[in-house]
Amino acid sequence: MTRQLSRLPTLFGLALLIGSAWADELAGRVVGIADGDTLTVLTADYRKERVRLPGIDAPEKRQAFGQVSRRHLSDLAYDKTVSVVFHKRDRYQRILGKVLVNGADAGLDQIRSGLAWHYKKYEREQSPEDRVAYARAEEKARTERRGLWQDRNPIPPWAFRRR
């Protein structure tokens, strides 16, 4: 496994970022799952990086579907080699990064499964393509009543946290 933490412009990075042609890339093995939108990646040089999936907000652990969402992300990514494409860190110093497992977007998979909301508060940080894909995936999950959309009135995590 090679460490890929460089400032190389890539076609993928160009498509991913709005207003910026530079993206950082990180490769490593997922060694921890905190919840349905946060995981830990161990790099080749044995650094642990906390990664927050951008564009989604998963139920809190104590919330309905919180543990289901965490388990789904674990089934998808735990102990697998992933690629993380990012351009910033959040206020907690977590990398805000699109996590790719065998080329598939883990955040988008969480939404498709009905185990996360498309976090529209931060959708401007997404590429236009991701913004549309995430919104459509949430609408389809709602319509098909997958995951948390089985509840009559699911409480978004940002409202749950305010309580």
Give the structural domain span for 27. Answer: 11-147
Give residue for tokens 């042609």. 21
Set 25, 49, 70, 94: catalytic member: 94
pTM for this entry: 0.85
1 lies in some domain: no
Residue 73: how many other CB atoms lie within 10 Å: 29
**Per the structure, how many domains does the chain have?**
1
Distance, in Å, from the CA atom of 73 to the CA atom of 21, rounded to the nearest integer, reads 29
Mean residue pLDDT of the chain comes to 89
Set 52, 70, 112, 138: catalytic member: 52
Rg of the chain taking only CA atoms, in angstroms: 15
154 lies in some domain: no
Q: Is the dihedral of CA 101, 107, 125, 45 positive or negative?
A: negative
24 lies in some domain: yes
135 lies in some domain: yes
| Whether residue 52 lies in the annotated active site | yes
152 lies in some domain: no
161 lies in some domain: no
CATH of the domain at 126: 2.40.50.90
In this prediction, residue 21 has a pLDDT band, given cuts at 50, 70 and 90, of low
Q: Is the dihedral of CA 42, 57, 146, 84 positive or negative?
A: negative
pLDDT in tens, 89-123: 999 999 999 999 999 999 999 999 999 999 999 88
89 lies in some domain: yes
156 lies in some domain: no
| Helices (H), ranges, 60-105 | 66-77
